[in-house]
Each structure stands twice: as C-alpha cells, then as structure tokens.
Chains A and B, each alone.
Chain A
Amino acid sequence: MQQASAERPRVSQSRQPAPLSPRASGAGLAWIGRGFLLILAAVVALILARNLLDNPRLFAQIVISGLQLGFVYALIALGYTMVYGIVRLINFAHGDVFMVGSFVSFFAVSRFSLHTWPETAFPGMSPDLSTLIGAISVILLSMVVCAILAVVIERVAYKPLRNAPRITALITAIGVSFFLEFFGALNFVFSPRFIPYQRPFDVYAYYIGGSGIGMVTPSNPAPPDSITFSSIFVIIVITSILMQALLQWLVKRTKMGKAMRASAVDKPTTRLMGVNVDRVISFTFAIGAAFAGLAGVLFAIAYPSIHTQLGILPGLKAFVAAVLGGIGSIPGALVGALIMGQAESLTAGYISTPMRDAVAFTILIVVLLVRPTGIFGEPTGEKA
C-alpha cells in the first residue's frame, strides 16, 4: 500500500514542466542492458558447450528431438503468421484447431479405420502403397475438416468484429479457443481423458552411428555410441519443409497469394482493386488451419497420447516462433520454430524439464525488446 501511494505524487511530479537540473541522455547507459543480455547468453552458451563436450551423443539426441518439435511448431506457426499478417489478430483458437486435427485423425483411424480403405478396396495392392495412401487420406481428411472449421469460426466469430477494436477480436478468439477445448471435453464429443492414439502406420526407430544406419529391432538394439531417430522424425521434417515450399510458392507465385500480400498491406485499397478481401481472409484461415490439422496428425503420431487441451501450449509456442521469426514472414516462421524447438528441448534436457514452457516466453520478451520486428520481419515497426 505504502509503495503505491508513495509513487503517486512522484508521477504527478514528472508531469511538472522542465525539471531544474538538466537531464542527461540515457543512451550512454545502453551497455548495461546489453551487457546483461550478453552475460545471460554467455552463461547459456557455457552450459551448452560444457554439455556438448561432456556427452556429444546425448547432445545430438536432444537436438534431434528439438528438431522434431521445431518442425511441428513450424507448421502451426504458418497459420499464425499468415493470419496475423493479414487481420492483425492473434488467433488463439489456432492451437485448438491443431487439437481438432489430431482428434479427427484419431476418430478416422480408430473408429472408421479409414487408413485401411485401400487394402479393402484393392486387395491386390502392395502393403506399402496401401499404407501410404491410407495415411495420406487420413491426413487429408484432418486438413479438410480443420480448414472448414476455421472458415466457420472466422465467419461466425471474427468477421462481425472486423471493424471493432482489435482487443475485442482477441477476447473473442480466446472465447472460441475455450469453447473448442471444453466442448471437446464433453463425453459425447472427445471426452476429457488422455486418449492413447492409434497410429495409421507403424513407426520404426533407426540408429545412426559408427557402424552405419540400421533399424532398431529387439534382436538388433542400437549400438551404445549411436544416435537414434524414428521414421516419424523423417516424415515430419520432409512434410514440414515441403509445406513451407508449397506455401512460399502459393504466396509468391499465385494470384491468390498476391491478393493475400496486398490485403496484408492495405485492405481498403486492395478492395478498390477488385479483390474480394473477405474471401482472401477466409482462404488464409483455411490454409493456416489445414497446416495446423496436418501438424496435429503428425504431432499425435509422434507423441501418441491426445487430449482436448493438447493445443494450448504448442499453439502459444508456435505463436512465439512466428513473432521470433518476424510475423508475416514464412521463412521466418520456420527459423523461429526451429529455434523454439531447440530452446525447448535443450532447456528440458539440461536446465529443468518443467521450465521448458517458461523459456518460450522469456525468448518472446527478449526478442520483442531487442528486435521487435523479429529476425525476418520488415522494419516497418507498425505495432499495436
């Protein structure tokens, strides 16, 4: 109490005209802040270097798990970065669309055995091909459902608020996010439990080490000096990179992409040019949600236990990744997400497992303070 009331006169003092003593420029004190950050960075680097020298194999293992996370985050971050770039809205519900994606694939696989349809329809097909087609159809189903869901959300909840203050839309987004989480937690929808996820295809572990690459089987365990990774890791990396390339092409080379970029810069003018901006926005939501759905399926395959609040933290971290990379920039989302993945898995590995969520937000704050436009952001500086 005393603190607050003691501060009040001081604030009104600072509004008095021109203080008597001349004020010095504080720019000369910038070294204090920079030094603080440098010391922090040096401590982190020291911890990492010591661990790298101590046990390079473990370090590489942690980096691999960080890459796996990072590429999933990259897929989610695309939706954030595109939507924020165009409508300046932190789409809180995006993480929950990601959750819906994994649940759709869960139901497709466990209830309706969608992944086995090629086998049933064409019994003569080679098992590898039928697994591939089955898995792709499951993924496509999730992507389509998520895209439709996102368009519905956008039309029902966000569109009427297009001209309202931005925070109103943000609260609405939080409301939508809550609704998806808790509606999903009802028993007749998804149920509130952790659900073991049945994969549409089997995941194998491989090792890579001094004696070359091999599959880990009960009869052939990984040699002690090797690094293991799983097939889903490879699939995530390849899919994520492919999707980034696809999106880059879409935004840079197609007419719709041009309309998206134009809407991001100036909506009224874009409308004057004859572009249906509402359709462009819906399309953006749909694309972002489709990627989130894809990420949801891959995430569930990689970490096969799903529940309705699964999307919150990956969603927030992907948003931080998008900010870190420079919001609105597609390569930025990838780079930011990879950094976030590494930060998370290295923190979990070397500092403290529970603090891995804290690191994301620390990074967010530091990045916004040091370089508010992010790594790849264009330096327009228009914020808030």
Chain B
Amino acid sequence: MELGFLLGSIIKIVAVLGWLYGLLQVMAHASRWVKIAGMIAAFGIIQAAFSLKIGDQSILNDFDAGLLFQACTMAMVALGLNLIYGFNGQFSLGQWGFYGLGAYAAAYVTYKWANDRTSSALFVLLIGVILAGATILMLRRFLSRYYNLPVLSAFTLYLLGCVAAAAVAVVAGNAVASVIDPLFGSREAPGLLSGDLALQIVFVLAVLCAGVFAAEVSFLFGLPVLSLGSDYFGIATLGFSIVINTLMVNSDTILPFPEMKGGRGMIGIPKLTTWFWVFIFLLLVIVVMRNLIHSSTGRAIMSVREDETASKAMGIDVASNKLLTFVIGSLFAGLGGGIYAHYIGFLSPGTFSFLAGFNPLIVVVFGGLGSMTGTLAASFGWMFFLEGLLRVLLGQLGTEAPTWRFVLYPIALLLLMLLRPQGLLGKTEWGFLRAPAVKPRAPASPPPDARATPAPAPAAK
C-alpha cells in the first residue's frame, strides 16, 4: 500500500505541475478562442478527475481535492507576498494576518446569512468597504495637493475617515438589512433569499468584500509602516499578524463577534467553495498580477526593489508604489482567505498563528523571489509534497511526525539560502507569465532612429 501510495503521490505531483504548465502555455496562445478553450479544458480536466473513478476510487479523492484547494489558496497568498517581497523588495511577515482577516470577514458574512438568516453582516461589510474605499480615494486626491506631508498626519486623517465610514456602514447596513430580511421568509416558506443561488451570490460578494477589506486594512497599516526601513517593516508586519491572531483568539470577548467563538474556532461556515470558484479566483489573481507586473506600474514597482534612490531620480513615486504593491498583495491574501474559509468550513485561530505565517514566505523563497511561476509551482509542490506525501509517510513513523516536518522545513530553508538563494526555479517563467512580446507600435510613434539600430538591418541591405 505504501509503495502504491508513494507512486500515486508522485504521479499526482507531476501531473498537477504538468497541468499548471499546460494551463500557462495555452493562456499564452495568440488566439483568444484557443485561450478560452484551453482554460475551460484545464478546468474540465480537474473537474473530471474528481468524478472519474478508477476501481472504487476517484482519480483525485477528497484528500487530494483538499490539497488542491489549499494549494490554490496558498498560491494566491504567496503570489501576493511575492508581489510585495519578491517584486517590490518589502520584507513582509504580515501576509498571513491579511489572509486570516479575509477568511474571518468572508466567513462571518456567509455564516450570518446561512445560519442566522440575516443580511446585516453582508450589507455592513459591503457598504463599509465601499465607503471606506471612497473615503481613502477622496482623501488621497485631497492630500495629493500637499508635499512633505508628515506620514503620521496622513495616517490620522485616513484613520478618522475610515472609522467614520465604518460607523456609517454599521447604521446603514443594519437599516438596509431590516428592509431586506423579510425576503428570507420563514423556515416553512423559504423566501427569495433562502435559495442556493442567493447563497452563491452572497459567497462571491463576501469573498470579494473580504479581499477589499483586507486591502483597505493593509492601506491603513502600510501607510505609516512602509516608511520604516526594510527589516523594521518585517518586524512591524510580524507584529500585525500577532495582533490579528490575538484578536481572533479573543473575538468573542474583546471584539463583539460571539459567532466567531474566539479560541475555540468558528464552526458552521457553509462550505460553498467549489473547484469552479477556486479556479476562477486563482485565474483572476494570476491574470491581474501578471498584467500588473508587465505594465509600466510593474516596472516602477521592480525599480523600487532594485534601487530606491535611482527610482526617485527617475521620477517614480516610491512611497505610493510601495503602498500600492502592499495593498494589492493583501487583496490577494484576503481573497485567498475568503476561499479557504468556505472550503474548510471551520476557522481556528491556530491556523492563522504567526508560526504558520511563515509558510507563504517559505513557498515564495523556495519558488524564487520575483518569479510567479516559481511561486505557483512551489505552492502546488509544497502542498502536495510536504503536506500530502510527507504527512502521510511520516504519519506512519510515529506521533511525532508533524514536529519532524517542521524540523525539516527550516533545514531545507537554510540549505536553500546557503546554496541557491535565488530559489529553485530562479527567474524562469512559463508561457503566459513571461513578458509579452512587444507589439510593434502603430505608426503614430515610430522609434525615431529605428533604421540606425542593427536589428532591422536586412531592410537596409
């Protein structure tokens, strides 16, 4: 059995990595229809593997499905971290905190909807997120009139604005909910909002809102903290995830959320995450991040990593680029958290402890800083190899297996740092993630001295 399991696991790891490679290759295809067909096929292959059976077991059983879903959420979180750390050079240990924030926020919304049959949490979060976002954008426009603005003053203004927005959102959200709630109907005669479709919509809204919520918190937190030096920033973000974890443990005593049940863990979250949504959100994150990286903003972000002073001299707004990266990275983490919460159905603060928070860092470092492919491959490989294969194999050795895993991680990390600090895959990118070929510009702006360069020489001959 063990040999069969080992073989099967290795085949699955290779197959998943191959699937990822194929997906990225087909997404790089020039034709739009091939792209779409390829993505649908990539979705369908996994979906089929869940239901097709060899003997009495499906090709990807529930255990593998769990690994796959967690690998996808880990990929989202780790891509966000790679954006912050690998592409922008800001060493953040707070990614896990934003992940937890997103998970709890999204879970609370659907929990209230499904179990308490009230839409108040949804509307409070939705209105709060929109209002706070609008406040931040308006204040940003207003404050851009000033240069040399002390960061503490800006932070105070943003904080006050967001607190006011949150207060309005609580009132408005509850008011809207009290109008909407009768539509749930009674238990005997379920109304419009009790259906599965409504629940699905709420789920997607909750995940999106949770992502934006995490992004807004990261904006408020990142504004003062990003102006610190790199390793102070690391410690401060580590502090952030410790504080978030403390709040989770005491969510029923310090915070007014008895449903989260503090350290005992939040149960009864509807399990709504399906492979479809995991796939969609993962694709969304990949596409957004790839397009961001290869845009002019992305080049600005990378130039900040290479040399802040030189970037400033080039006219790049270093502070706001750092902030933008941090916010987008946290947005990804929040989305991943929302997906994770509805897959696992149970949130415990232990999952989001800051020790576990080093996992995305390990993934990013293994995959290679500044390599999206590396992060993706490392997320899948890490989850299937270490969590899946090694856990089961070591589990047969004895009760100490989980501890041994955590003894092996740091040794691997140390060896990697000493022997191959650029990560296993270095800077290789697969298919879609490579920098797109630059299309020749329209005649409106031809390169002024194109003929002088040796590249188009054949024409001159």
Contact = CB atoms under 8 A, between A and B. Distances in A.
Interface in A352-384: 352, 354-355, 357-358, 360-362, 364-365, 368-370, 372, 383-384
Given A175-B413, A357-B243, A170 B234 contact: yes
B114 interface: no
Contacts of A29: 146, 149-150, 153
A75 to B, nearest CB: 20
Nearest to B418: A160
B137 to A, nearest CB: 7
Interface in A1-20: 1-4, 6-8, 10-12, 14-15, 17, 19
Interface string A34-65: 11110000000000000000000000000000
Contacts of B320: 11, 14
B250 A11 contact: no
Dominant SS among interface residues on chain B: helix
B277 to A, nearest CB: 15
Residue with the greatest number of chain B CB neighbours at <10 A, chosen from A10, A21, A192: A10
A178 B412 CA distance: 11
A4 B332 CA distance: 11
A170 B321 contact: no
Nearest to B136: A3
Interface string A178-202: 1101110111000010000000000
B425 to A, nearest CB: 17
Interface stretch (B44-52, B69-77, B209-217, B434-442): B209-217
A273 interface: no
Nearest to A355: B246
A168 B230 contact: no
Given A167-B230, A178-B406, A316-B235, A354 B148 contact: no
B236 interface: yes
Contacts of B166: none
Given A34-B152, A178-B410, A21 B145 contact: yes
Contacts, number: 230
A368 B146 contact: no
Contact of B417 (A17, A171, A187, A365): A171
B320 to A, nearest CB: 6
A272 interface: no
Interface in A133-154: none
Contacts of B224: 365, 369
Given A23-B146, A365-B225, A383-B229, A15 B316 contact: yes
Contacts of A160: 418
Nearest to A10: B140
Nearest to B233: A384
A103 interface: no
Given A12-B296, A15-B315, A179-B407, A25 B146 contact: yes
Interface string B191-211: 000000000000000001001
Interface residues of B, number: 81
A30 interface: yes
Interface string B130-146: 00010011001101111
Given A32-B157, A369-B227, A26 B148 contact: yes
A323 interface: yes
A192 B243 CA distance: 24
A99 interface: no
Contacts of B150: 26-27, 29-30, 33
17 contacts: A3-B133, A7-B137, A10-B141, A23-B147, A26-B149, A27-B150, A29-B149, A36-B159, A172-B413, A186-B403, A186-B404, A316-B239, A352-B250, A360-B239, A365-B228, A368-B228, A372-B228
Give the 4 A-B CB pairs with smallest separation, nearest first: A361-B239, A33-B152, A26-B149, A384-B229
